[in-house]
Amino acid sequence: MHDLLIYNSLSNKKEVFKPIKEGYVGMYVCGPTVYSNVHLGNVRTFMSFDMVFRYFLHLGYKVRYVRNITDAGHLTDDSEEDKISTKARLEQLEPMEIVQKYTTDFHLILQKFNFLPPSIEPTATGHIVEQIKAIELILENGLAYEVNGSVYFDVLKYNEKEHYGILSKRKIEDAIENTRVLDGQSDKKNPQDFALWKKAEPEHIQRWDSPWGVGFPGWHLECTVMSTKYLGEEFDIHGGGMDLKFPHHECEIAQAQACNHRAPVKYWMHGNMLTMNGKKMAKSTGNNILPEEIFTGENDNISKPYTPSVARFFMMQAHYRSVLDFSNDAIMASEKGFGRLMDALTIVTSVKASEKSTLDVSAWKAKCYEAMNDDFNTPVLIANLFEGVKWINLLKENQESLTQEDLDLLKETMHIFI
């Protein structure tokens, strides 16, 4: 078996995967913010990591896969409002009703796509105590300051010894220049500082007591606290969508460094975006399609319904680090291709074995693994599987032949990857 190469966003290179503990993988992936239904773009990111999770399991690793639920603290980009509290106020529901509704929806959708459940699915609200402890530690280490009931991470101070921008490859000067000064941010010493704890205004419904008064934790902190709690101060893989690299993951690194004086993650993996009509699928812009609409066909961007398997196959035909554009034509083509694969699996059951093999099945199998070992290259894997389909059709017509052993190997390999 060849080495498994993973593209590490920290080094911007493919690196040989070496687990911290032989035989074990610790992987953390940022989960959804449960204030609305997940769209197909969100699903793409989680699907990429479901594929990664499955491949590690297939290789025989014991994997602890942690994927959180953000049920507090995620502030909107254009204001300092918490997404869940805002939605709760608008819909006149308890924040926990919003959280419950969309967590249930998330689980239902992932079940339809046949995702493996993560080993641990922690919530931000379930880890307030740990977050407060982490803030106390960062304050003690002199890398945060309290103003008027809120606590902010001191980015400039941190950057004196560490590199704020190590992941996103930003220079601190650019961060300073690009940070917009927003209303209500005047408490900060510097605009690029980020909130570890926010004072809750009277209308803010999700609120907890803390040494700094009543408030709520900042979004970035939950992932630092929950990843290191369940996977250790240093763990193997941290994943998420490309759009989370900055500021979210950059802040996660800074917080973990500030707490534990070490880099938290060995391999950072970032999935690329699903687009539609050339633009990023996003909740906020309305340019998105919901999984349920794919299954029912009820969306103007598609002409008919598609099954979850076809949608998964469509996504896997692109490499997880490439942008993928969703369109009716593209998913229809995937449906055809997927049908050919499925047909081949049926046809192969009636192929008879011969005395000798005219095809090199072992070399073909090795090529399938090579593709996966090359940074989970599913499009190349799928091209190999189609080579298998071609062979199966030739075998059926007696234009090629395989021994029983090779025939079994061909079937077995097709079944591993489909």
Q: Taking the complex as a whole, how short is the minimal distance between the CB of residue 8 and ligand AMP, in angstroms?
A: 17
Binding of residue 195 to ligand AMP (CB under 6 A): no
Among 128, 135, 281, 289, binds ligand AMP (CB under 6 A): 281
- Given the complex with ligand AMP, which of 33 and 334 has the nearer CB atom? 33
Q: Is 66 in the site for Zn ion (CB under 5 A)?
A: no
Q: How far apart are CA 218 and CA 233, in angstroms?
A: 20
30 touches ligand AMP (CB under 6 A):
yes
CB of 340 to ligand AMP, least distance (A): 27
DSSP-derived secondary structure letter, 69 = B
Q: Is 45 in the site for ligand AMP (CB under 6 A)?
A: yes
**Residue 29 phi/psi, 5° resolution?**
-130, 130
CA–CA separation, 131 and 342 (whole Å): 48
Residue 223 in the binding site for Zn ion (CB under 5 A): yes
**Cα distance between residue 236 and residue 49, in whole Å:** 14
150-153 and 194-199 beta bridge pairing: antiparallel
Is 241 or 388 the residue whose CB approaches Zn ion more closely? 241
Sole window of 25-33, 202-210, 380-388, 400-408 interacting with ligand AMP (rule: CB under 6 A) = 25-33
The strand pairing partners of 151, in sequence order, are 146, 197
Residues in binding contact with ligand AMP, number by CB under 6 A: 16
Question: In this structure, what DSSP letter does residue 272 have?
Answer: P
CB of 7 to ligand AMP, least distance (A): 16
Name the H helices within 304-327.
Answer: 308-316
Chosen from Zn ion, ligand AMP, none, partner binding at 281 (C-beta under 5 to 8 Å by type): ligand AMP
Nearest distance from residue 241's CB to ligand AMP, in Å? 2
Does 73 contact ligand AMP by CB under 6 A? no
Q: Using CB distances below 5 to 8 A depending on partner kind, what does residue 241 bind out of ligand AMP, Zn ion, none? A: ligand AMP
DSSP 209-224: --TTSSEEE-HHHHHH
Q: Which amino acid is at 214?
A: V
Residue 258 in the binding site for ligand AMP (CB under 6 A)? no
For residue 44, the partner it binds in Zn ion, ligand AMP, none, with Cβ less than 5 to 8 A by kind, is: ligand AMP
Query: Binder to Zn ion among 29, 30, 132, 144 (CB under 5 A)?
Result: 30
Tell me how far the alpha carbon of residue 118 is from its chain's centroid. 12
Residue 307 phi, psi dihedral angles, 5° rounding = -80, 160
- From Zn ion, ligand AMP, none, interface partner of 308 (C-beta below 5 to 8 A by class): none
- Residue 134 in tokens: 């982490």
Which residues have a Cβ under 8 Å from the Cβ of 32 and sit 6 or more positions away?
38, 42, 46, 69, 70, 102, 106
Instruction: Give yes or no for a contact between 274 and 60, defined as CB atoms under 8 angstroms apart.
Output: no
If the CB atoms of residues 220 and 319 are measured against Zn ion, the closer one turns out to be 220
Q: Give residues in contact with ligand AMP (CB under 6 A).
A: 30, 32-33, 41-42, 44-45, 240-241, 243-244, 273-274, 280-282
